Each structure stands twice: as structure tokens, then as C-alpha cells.
């Protein structure tokens, strides 16, 4: 069976499915003598008759049925392979626009860096902004994928949680005020807060409203790093995502033990159900989920 080729199997499959050499030649855009010749060649390779004519119809012999089944399997694997290769090509040369909320910038870059190493030809655009800015990009449908911990509620969005985002109450290392307490016991402390529009701020405001508590900000600072440094310098307390603290705990900062904290939220990959998801975006969501499982 040395010279058995995809083409011979394809011709045989068409002859059987069209029920005639004429039908197969039309389906394959080949001349009838070419189809007959290929059929002869296949018969001589198998060295057994493959078809017989009965009452003007083509019937498969037993050997013919075995060849037909082989043709079905081989040709369907070939077509599966072709679509897999096309999918991989799409992934290798695609583009990916990701927009993430400020605090997610501590989480996404290492995952993105591995992803770019695995797919060096994908053109990645990475935007960072506070929650309000990223929500407005989402409403304008500007990116393939978004990362929030407080995604807007909408039936038009697909959300895939992939990693915990815990908010903690932080104080300077030399702080000696209330600890092992409720948040209400800290209401007279000076709180440094993210701006309205920040997801972190939204989670804190929600917690305060759920617990009938008012925490008036002593100072608004629109940057996690600046808040962390300000707390380290003794300017006040704050509530930030644990991801923003890096190596500051025990080294300028302490996390207070406050009932109900850490406030648990989750990082979520978010995309519109109405925007066709590119292969690159799908692969990046998988990378986020894998990183979350591995953490
Ligand atoms: P932020 O958002 O960086 O705007 O505070 C974080 C979040 O959505 O949890």
C-alpha cells in the first residue's frame, strides 16, 4: 500500500457518495477519465475489487467498505488538522487589547509577560485606568478584554473570576491605636482613601453602607503607591488591596486585625457577550485562569 494517497482516498469517497464516476468528477472538478484512472490505481494498490455494479448502481465490496471507512477517518483527521493549524496561525499573528483597573496592574504584568513569551507575534495593547475609566472603555467596546474586581452588573457581559483580591486595613509600623477591633472603632482615625470612581473605594463604600458606618476620608489620593508611602510615613491609615503592599508589611507597614477583613473580592476577566472573542483573547483568559489556579 505504499502509494496510497489522500487524493486516491478522496476520489474513492466521492465516487461512493455521488454514486457514480460522473458525479465524482463533477464534485472534484476532474475529468471522468482521470477519476476512472484513480479508481483503477486504488484498486490495483489494494489488489482487490472495491466496487461492483448491480442494476445500474455502484455497490461497495467488503474490501471497498474497509477502504471507504479508512477514507472517512483519514480525511476527517486531515480536515481537523487543517482547522487546528488555521487556529494556531490566528493565535500567532493576532492582536489583543486589554484594559485593567489600576490595582490589577500588580497582578496582570507577570501573567502577560509569560503570555507574550509564548506568543511573541501577538500585538498586545495594555491600558490601565481607574474603575470608572475602564467602565467607560467597556461601554465604548474599545478592548477585547477587561479586568475588574467590581465589574459593572450587566447581562451583556461574561465574567470569569480567576484570583482573590483581598482588601486589608493598613497602618504605619509604629501605629499604636485600636487593633483587633471593628472598623467602626477606627472611625476617628485619619483615613487616606482612593478617589470616587476607584473599584477599591467602591468596595469600601459598599462595606460601610452595609454596616451603617461612615468613614470620612482625611485625604483623597489617586494612587495605590502614593497611599502606601503616605501610610508608611505616618500620615494615616488606609484600606488597600493586599496586592499593592509588595514587601512593605513588617517593613514600614502593618496590617490591622479588623473584623470582616480582609474584605474579599475577586479579580475577574470580563468581556462583552456581543463582541466575537478573538483566539488571542480566549487564550489570555485561559492564561489568567491557569495563573489563578497555580497561585
Ligand atoms: P481601582 O479598581 O484600581 O480602580 O481601585 C480596583 C477594583 O476594581 O477592585
Residue from 106, 131, 165, 168 whose mutation best tests the ligand 1 pocket (most atoms within 8 A of CB): 131
**CA atoms within a 13 Å half-sphere pointing along the CA-CB vector of 126:** 14
Under the banding of pLDDT at 50, 70 and 90, the label for residue 133 is very high
pLDDT in tens, 203-245: 999 999 999 998 889 999 999 999 999 999 999 999 999 999 9
Centroid of ligand 1 to alpha carbon of 102 (angstroms): 6
The share of the chain scoring above pLDDT 90, in percent, equals 79
Average pLDDT, the chain: 92
pLDDT in tens, 107-117: 999 999 999 99
Cell of 139: 461601554
C-alpha span between 74 and 194 (Å, rounded): 61
Centroid of ligand 1 to alpha carbon of 215 (angstroms): 19
pLDDT for residue 87: 75
**Does residue 199's CB lie within 6 angstroms of at least one atom of ligand 1?**
yes
* Contacting residues for 231 by C-beta, under 8 A, at least 6 apart: 170, 171, 172, 192, 237, 238, 253
- Short-list 153, 133, 136, CA closest to 268: 153
DSSP state of 224: H
Residue from 129, 152, 198, 223 whose mutation best tests the ligand 1 pocket (most atoms within 8 A of CB): 198
Has residue 2 got a pLDDT over 70? Answer: no
pLDDT for residue 131: 92
**Does residue 146's CB lie within 6 angstroms of at least one atom of ligand 1?**
no
Residue from 99, 103, 162 whose mutation best tests the ligand 1 pocket (most atoms within 8 A of CB): 103
Centroid of ligand 1 to alpha carbon of 199 (angstroms): 3
**Does residue 149's CB lie within 6 angstroms of at least one atom of ligand 1?**
yes
C-alpha span between 28 and 45 (Å, rounded): 21
Average pLDDT rounded to a whole number, residues 73-82:
86
To the question of pTM greater than 0.75 for the whole model, the response is no
* Contacting residues for 24 by C-beta, under 8 A, at least 6 apart: 11, 14, 15, 17, 18, 30, 35
pLDDT for residue 83: 72
Centroid of ligand 1 to alpha carbon of 91 (angstroms): 30
Centroid of ligand 1 to alpha carbon of 178 (angstroms): 27
Please tell me the residue having the least CA distance from ligand 1 atom 8: 199
DSSP state of 3: T
**Does residue 194's CB lie within 6 angstroms of at least one atom of ligand 1?**
yes
Average pLDDT rounded to a whole number, residues 20-35:
94
**Does residue 150's CB lie within 6 angstroms of at least one atom of ligand 1?**
yes
**Does residue 252's CB lie within 6 angstroms of at least one atom of ligand 1?**
no
Give the 3-state secondary structure of residue 76. helix
* Contacting residues for 250 by C-beta, under 8 A, at least 6 apart: 173
pLDDT for residue 176: 95
C-alpha span between 38 and 25 (Å, rounded): 11
Burial 212-233 (b: 16+ CB within 10 A, else e): eeebebeeebeebeebbebbbe
**CA atoms within a 13 Å half-sphere pointing along the CA-CB vector of 206:** 13
Q: Which atom of ligand 1 is nearest to the CA of 194?
A: 5
- Short-list 159, 152, 130, CA closest to 241: 130
pLDDT in tens, 170-181: 999 999 999 999
C-alpha span between 164 and 74 (Å, rounded): 46
**Does residue 238's CB lie within 6 angstroms of at least one atom of ligand 1?**
no
Amino acid at each position: 500500500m505504499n502509494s496510497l494517497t489522500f487524493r486516491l482516498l478522496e476520489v474513492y469517497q466521492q465516487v461512493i457518495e455521488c454514486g457514480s464516476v460522473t458525479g465524482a468528477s463533477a464534485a472534484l472538478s476532474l475529468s471522468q477519465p482521470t477519476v476512472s484512472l484513480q479508481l483503477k490505481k486504488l484498486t490495483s494498490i489494494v489488489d482487490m475489487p472495491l466496487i461492483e455494479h448491480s442494476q445500474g448502481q455502484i455497490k461497495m465490496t467488503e474490501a471497498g467498505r474497509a477502504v471507504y471507512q479508512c477514507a472517512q477517518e483519514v480525511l476527517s483527521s486531515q480536515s481537523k488538522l487543517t482547522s487546528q493549524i488555521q487556529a494556531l496561525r490566528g493565535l500567532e499573528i493576532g492582536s489583543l487589547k486589554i484594559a485593567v483597573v489600576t490595582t490589577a496592574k500588580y497582578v496582570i504584568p507577570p501573567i502577560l509577560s509569560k503570555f507574550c513569551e509564548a506568543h511573541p507575534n501577538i500585538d498586545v495593547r495594555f491600558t490601565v485606568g481607574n474603575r470608572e475609566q475602564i467602565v467607560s472603555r467597556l461601554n465604548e467596546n474599545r478592548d477585547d478584554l477587561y479586568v475588574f474586581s467590581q465589574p459593572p452588573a450587566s447581562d451583556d457581559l461574561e465574567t470569569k473570576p480567576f484570583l482573590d483580591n483581598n482588601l486589608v486595613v493598613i497602618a504605619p509600623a509604629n501605629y499604636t491605636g485600636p487593633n483587633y477591633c471593628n472598623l467602626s472603632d477606627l472611625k476617628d482615625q485619619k483615613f487616606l482613601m482612593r478617589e470616587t470612581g476607584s473599584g477599591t473605594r467602591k468596595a469600601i463604600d459598599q462595606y460601610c453602607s452595609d454596616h451603617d458606618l461612615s468613614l470620612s476620608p482625611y485625604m483623597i489620593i489617586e494612587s495605590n503607591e502614593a497611599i502606601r508611602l503616605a501610610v508608611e510615613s505616618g500620615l494615616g491609615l488606609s484600606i488597600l488591596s493586599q496586592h499593592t503592599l509588595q514587601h512593605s508589611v513588617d517593613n514600614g507597614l502593618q496590617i490591622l486585625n479588623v473584623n470582616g477583613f480582609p474584605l474579599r473580592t475577586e479579580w475577574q476577566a470580563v468581556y462583552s457577550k456581543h463582541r466575537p472573542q478573538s483566539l488571542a483573547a480566549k487564550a489570555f483568559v485561559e492564561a489568567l485562569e491557569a495563573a489563578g489556579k497555580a497561585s
